[in-house]
């Protein structure tokens, strides 16, 4: 059997513990694993490409057969350019399957020699996604245990006003916070809070 080089493509905005779990699993079975961060010009990511590259490089520094790179355009073409013969993707729950199957079959149509391999992250991460992490963090909520510490720190730095507001609310330091029965409404992107409809929290 030939040693297999694999590509693990994704947005990683931000990298989660689920991503890291999958990278560690992949690193054990593939000769080489390239984590390819999509440079997506349409979406406006929370973390710049440079930030995601830096975070993933730090998080995988202990894995000698893992390389972090960025790519744009068709994933299959990038895979070919780095001599990857396998694509690694994670499946957390049945809900992931339909999208992943569609993508794998489209990629097979585009490049029949490229095989997609699915792996499952640890079940404790089965509900963790970058989108939900962003949502929780944008509301100043705790993401400990969902993302590595360096990512948690970066989220805190980026969303400092949201975390400060959340902490002040928790500590009852926001005037009227305890007396308002209505849910607080504030909308990302921070630091601009939309005015709260209750009239207490945000003025």
List of residues contacting ligand PNS (CB under 6 A)? 9-11, 38, 74-75, 103, 106-107
Q: How far is the CB of 43 from ligand PNS (least distance, A)?
A: 9
Nearest to 59 by CA among 71, 49, 51, 47: 51
Q: How far is the CB of 37 from ligand PNS (least distance, A)?
A: 8
Instruction: Tell me how far apart the alpha carbons of residues 193 and 188 are, in angstroms, rounded to a whole number.
Output: 7
Instruction: Tell me how far apart the alpha carbons of residues 129 and 147 are, in angstroms, rounded to a whole number.
Output: 10
Q: How far is the CB of 2 from ligand PNS (least distance, A)?
A: 24
Q: What positions carry a catalytic annotation?
A: 19, 43, 92, 130
Nearer to ligand PNS, 106 or 194 (CB): 106
Nearer to ligand PNS, 18 or 140 (CB): 18
Nearer to ligand PNS, 23 or 196 (CB): 23
Q: How far is the CB of 118 from ligand PNS (least distance, A)?
A: 13
The conformational region for residue 83 under phi > 0 = left, psi -120 to 50 = alpha, else beta, is: left
Nearer to ligand PNS, 74 or 187 (CB): 74
CB 145 within 8 A of CB 17: yes
What phi and psi values does residue 80 have, to the nearest 5 degrees? -65, -40
- Token look-up 């000769």 returns 31
Nearer to ligand PNS, 75 or 196 (CB): 75
Q: How far is CA 135 from CA 139, 144, 165, in A?
A: 7, 14, 15
Other C-beta atoms within 10 Å of 70: how many?
15
Q: Which two tokens mark 132?
A: 């939900």
CB 122 within 8 A of CB 21: yes
Q: How far is the CB of 17 from ligand PNS (least distance, A)?
A: 15
């Amino acid at each position: 059997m030939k040693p297999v080089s694999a590509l693990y493509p994704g947005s990683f905005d931000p990298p989660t513990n689920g991503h890291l779990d999958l990278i560690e699993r992949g690193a054990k079975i593939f000769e080489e694993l390239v984590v390819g961060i999509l440079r997506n010009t349409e979406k406006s990511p929370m973390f710049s490409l440079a930030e995601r590259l830096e975070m993933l490089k730090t998080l995988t520094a202990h894995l000698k057969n893992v390389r972090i790179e960025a790519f744009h355009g068709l994933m299959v073409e990038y895979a070919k350019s780095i001599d990857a013969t396998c694509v690694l993707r994670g499946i957390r729950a049945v809900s992931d399957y339909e999208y992943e199957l569609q993508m794998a079959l489209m990629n097979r149509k585009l490049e029949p020699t490229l095989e997609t391999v699915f792996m499952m992250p640890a079940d404790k991460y089965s509900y963790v996604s970058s989108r939900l992490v962003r949502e929780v963090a944008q509301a100043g909520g705790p993401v400990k245990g969902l993302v590595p510490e360096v990512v948690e720190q970066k989220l805190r730095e980026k969303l400092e006003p949201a975390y400060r507001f959340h902490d002040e609310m928790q500590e009852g330091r926001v005037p009227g916070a305890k007396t308002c029965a209505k849910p607080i409404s504030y909308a990302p992107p921070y630091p601009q809070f939309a005015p709260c409809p209750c009239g207490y929290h945000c003025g």
